[in-house]
Amino acid sequence: MTEKLTDPIAIFEQAFARAKTVDRALLPDPTAMSLATVGEDGSPSLRIVLLKSVDQTGFVFYTNLDSRKGRELRGQPRAALCFYWAALDLQVRIEGGVEAVSPDEADEYFATRARGSQIGAWASRQSAPITAEGDLDARAEKYEKEFAGRDVPRPAFWSGFRVKPHRIEFWRNRENRLHDRTLYTREGEGWRVDTLYP
């Protein structure tokens, strides 16, 4: 079989490249993905995050480590992702273990962010209650002054996670709900490929 048929990361990268060419009126942000985590009590939690990089090692996104997702991922280091690109009639589901990116990798990505977003990372106590109106703006102003005239360093509490997939499923829409579903399951260094009923 060709690499295209046996390597789900390569298949994803090709689909991702196509999604980036779609008119933004039809597909506003192809990097948007649902991220599911699990709390200590086993309760699931779901939100949208943005994919920042993908390669053979996995799918990377960034967050405040003290946020709900950051705490849950450190406590239960596994996650599920889902992309739905309606304009391509394609859904991609990913499940796997989670690891922290290296400090160097996080620093490199943080340096590419807009300065306002860098200040925002310092200002937000993500997922914590705001106890007084105006606190968030006041915190942003505080860090604007603190870092005036110099580069904004990455906060120690802000970094990234890599989802290392052990299952990747491609769902392609077909008429009469006879959808194509192809599941790739990690086996050693390779992948087992199964076609699933819709």
Residues labelled as active-site residues:
177
Cα(first)–Cα(last) distance of the chain, in Å?
Answer: 24
* Measured CA distances, 94 to 25, 104, 108, 120, 151 (Å): 26, 26, 25, 29, 36
Residue pair 110/154 in contact by the 8 Å Cβ criterion: yes
DSSP character string of 58-73: EEEEEEETTSHHHHHH
CA 198 to CA 196: how far, in whole Å? 6
Beta strand pairing call for 32-38 and 58-64:
unpaired
Cα-only R_g, the chain = 19
Residues ≥6 apart with Cβ < 8 Å to 196? 169, 181, 182, 183
